[in-house]
Amino acid sequence: MSDEHVRSDIRKYLSSNIDTRIALIHQEIWVNNNSSAAVFRMMNNIADVPDRMSAPALLVVGPGGSGKTAIISKIPNHVKRSAGLIFVSLAASPEIDTKKSLKDEIALALGIPVGSGSSRRSSSDLPSEIREVIRLRQIWGLVIDEFHDALLRSKQEQRFNMSILKKLLGPEYGLKLFCFGTASARNALKSNYEFKRRFHEVALDDWIESEEFRSFLLEVEESLPLKQPSHLYSEEMVGTILSMSNGRMDKTLELIRAAACYAIKMGGEKVDVDMLRRANKNPWGY
């Protein structure tokens, strides 16, 4: 049996038991692609920009499941001087029925305790401790996930948050901004042209039938501990995957993972159209 269809570091698992191989399939799959590479390239170029009156800002826009958070998780591996970045997520906690405070989340990311009560939320002023910690730790950039949640607020809160971000971009702080959000972030920025023009925008589009998508599928297949080649990049498989996933990144990976689990459990050892159909109908039924 040839194992050339599997990555060299995965081949040792081909003889492992079913449970071990299925556990491996469910680990995070990361495949570099043109979109993520472009984001990392821009971030590295922005990292090299010297201090100026207004620091650069990047807005990465994509629908839910397009890979924004996955890209953020790989920033430490792909962006220079990433130790000088602070990371903030404005994703609402399901246990708390209130939106996160941008100012508080920045303080927490810097290890600064936040107070309590509504007074701390009622101003766009930043505590002096934030400036001092940024200077002492040589922080040069801020990464914000779920950026749209900072803007989809009341007009007063939206103004406060925009004011905070303008200050961070300004000469007092000089932070580069890397914001990741949905198209609603772009739409909210339209209400303030002076702020919107500070951002360069890049979109994470859904997959379409293309050589890049076929290359992506080839790399995904190489990460699966299946004993037979699946030829995910073939015309039939590409068409089937796109029709079931609509090209959305997370759905594509979920579909292939589940189909690979079916392939192992049913003994076929490869992903084919039947396995994809089963996975699409019930991803956990293997």
Question: Which sign does the torsion angle of CA 165, 169, 174, 177 carry?
Answer: positive
Which residues touch 211 (CB under 8 Å, ≥6 apart)?
none
Which residues touch 200 (CB under 8 Å, ≥6 apart)?
42, 56, 57, 58, 59
Domain of residue 235, residue span:
9-27+207-279
Q: Which residue has the tokens 């951002």?
A: 199
Answer yes or no: are the C-beta atoms of 139 and 175 closer than 8 Å: yes
Regarding whether 72 and 193 lie in a shared domain, the answer is: yes
Regarding whether 98 and 70 lie in a shared domain, the answer is: yes
Q: Which two tokens stand for residue 219?
A: 């790399």
Regarding whether 178 and 52 lie in a shared domain, the answer is: yes
284 domain-assigned: no
Q: Which two tokens stand for residue 154?
A: 């009341």
Regarding whether 166 and 87 lie in a shared domain, the answer is: yes
Name the residue among 272, 280, 285, 281 with its Cα closest to residue 224.
272
DSSP code at position 100:
P
Query: What's the number of domains the chain is made of?
Result: 2
Regarding whether 172 and 94 lie in a shared domain, the answer is: yes
Name the 3-class secondary structure at 87.
strand
Regarding whether 244 and 159 lie in a shared domain, the answer is: no
d(CA 34, CA 45): 16
- The CATH number of the domain where 110 resides is what? 3.40.50.300
| Type of residue found at 231 | H
Strands (E), 146-256: 176-181, 199-203
Answer yes or no: are the C-beta atoms of 170 and 124 closer than 8 Å: no
pLDDT in tens, the chain (286 residues): 688 899 999 999 999 999 999 999 999 989 989 999 999 999 999 999 998 888 999 999 999 999 999 999 999 999 999 999 999 999 876 666 678 889 999 999 999 987 644 344 456 678 888 999 999 999 999 999 999 988 888 888 888 899 999 999 999 999 999 999 999 988 888 877 888 888 999 999 999 999 999 999 999 999 999 999 999 999 999 999 999 999 999 999 999 999 999 999 999 999 999 999 999 999 999 9
pLDDT tens for each residue of 239-269: 999 999 999 999 999 999 999 999 999 999 9
Q: Which two tokens stand for residue 189?
A: 């920025």
Q: Cβ atoms within 10 A of the Cβ of 264, count?
A: 22
